[in-house]
Structure 1
Amino acid sequence: MKSSGSVCRILVLSLLAVFCTACGAVDGKYTEPPPVRPDVKTVRQTGKMLNGPDFMSAIRLNDPIKAALDDWLTWGRPQLLEAYEYYQYLKPLIAPIYQKSGFPESLLFAMIATESAGKAHAYSRAGAAGLLQFMRFTGKKYGLRVVDGFDQRLDPVLATHANARYLTDHLKLFHNNIEKTLAAYNGGENRVLGLQQRNKGKAIWDRHIFYALPRETREYVPKVLAAAWLFTHPEDFRLEFPEVDNRLASLKLQRDSSLSELTLCLGQQSVGHKGWFRTLRNLNPKIKPGDVLEKGVTLVVPEVVKKAYHANCATTDEAFLAMASEMHKLNYPDGSNMFYYVVKRGDTANRIADRFQCVSTRELAAINNIRPPRYTIRVGQVLQVPGC
Structure 2
Amino acid sequence: MLKTVFSLLFLFFLSCGILTASENDSLIVFESNHLNINTLQINQDSIPKSVFIGNPIVPLSNGIFQTRLESIRKDVDLSYNEHVQKYIDTYLKRKEHIGKMLGLSKYYFPIFEKALKEFGLPDELKYITVVESALNPNAVSRSGAVGPWQFMYTTAKGYGLTMDSYTDERKDPQKASLAAAQYLSDAHKRIGDWLLAIAAFNCGMGAVTRAIAKSGGVADFWKVRPFLPLQTQNYVPAFIATVYTMNYHQIHEIAEKPAGFSTSTDIFPVTKRISISSIAKATELDVNELLMLNPSYKKQIINGSSLLPMQLVVPSFTSASYSSLYELFNGKDEDTTANLTISANPENKFKTEQKNNKNSYFQYIVKAGDTLSGIASKFKGTTVAGIKVLNGLKSTVLKPGMPLKIPKI
The TM-score range, normalised by the shorter chain, is: 0.5 to 0.7
Distance 1:259 1:224 in 2: 41
Label 1:299 to 1:218 Cα distance change in 2 as closer, same or farther (>3 A).
Answer: same
Equivalent residue, structure 1, for 2:83: 64
Equivalent residue, structure 2, for 1:234: 249
Amino acid in structure 2 at the alignment position of 1:82: K
Distance 2:189 2:297 in 1: 37
Distance 2:103 2:199 in 1: 26
- 2:172 aligned with 1:155, yes or no? yes
Aligned-residue offset at 1:107: 2.6
Aligned-residue offset at 1:195: 1.2
- 2:228 aligned with 1:213, yes or no? yes
CA contact (8 A) 1:15 1:107 kept: no
Label 1:150 to 1:13 Cα distance change in 2 as closer, same or farther (>3 A).
Answer: farther
CA contact (8 A) 2:156 2:170 kept: yes
Aligned-residue offset at 1:11: 5.9
The two structures have a TM-score, normalised by structure 2, of 0.50
- 2:147 aligned with 1:130, yes or no? yes
Aligned-residue offset at 1:68: 1.4
Unaligned 5+ residue runs, structure 1? 19-45, 47-54, 268-275, 315-388
The two structures have a TM-score, normalised by structure 1, of 0.53
CA contact (8 A) 1:171 1:181 kept: yes
CA contact (8 A) 1:84 1:118 kept: no
Q: Number of matched residues?
A: 250
Aligned-residue offset at 1:162: 0.9
Distance 2:70 2:140 in 1: 28
Equivalent residue, structure 1, for 2:100: 82
Aligned-residue offset at 1:65: 1.0
- 2:182 aligned with 1:182, yes or no? no
Residue among 151, 157, 162 paired with 1:140: 157
Residue among 63, 70, 75 paired with 1:17: 75
Residue among 167, 177, 180 paired with 2:184: 167
Distance 1:122 1:259 in 2: 25
**SS of 1:205's equivalent?**
helix
Amino acid in structure 2 at the alignment position of 1:178: W
What are the superposed Cα offsets for residues 181-216 of structure 1, whole Å, 9 maximum, x if unpaired?
Answer: 11111112212111111222363223xx32333332
Label 1:172 to 1:230 Cα distance change in 2 as closer, same or farther (>3 A).
Answer: same
Unaligned 5+ residue runs, structure 2? 1-56, 304-309, 326-409
Equivalent residue, structure 2, for 1:376: none
CA contact (8 A) 1:128 1:134 kept: yes
**SS of 1:235's equivalent?**
coil
CA contact (8 A) 2:166 2:302 kept: no
**SS of 2:250's equivalent?**
helix
- In angstroms, what is the RMSD of aligned CA positions? 4.2
Equivalent residue, structure 1, for 2:212: 196
Which is higher, the Rg of structure 1 or of structure 2? 1
Distance 1:302 1:141 in 2: 32
Normalized per residue, the structure richer in helix is: 1
Aligned-residue offset at 1:63: 1.1
Equivalent residue, structure 2, for 1:94: 112
Aligned-residue offset at 1:286: 3.4
Distance 2:196 2:278 in 1: 40
CA contact (8 A) 1:83 1:117 kept: yes
What are the superposed Cα offsets for residues 259-281 of structure 1, whole Å, 9 maximum, x if unpaired?
Answer: 9977xx868xxxxxxxx83x533
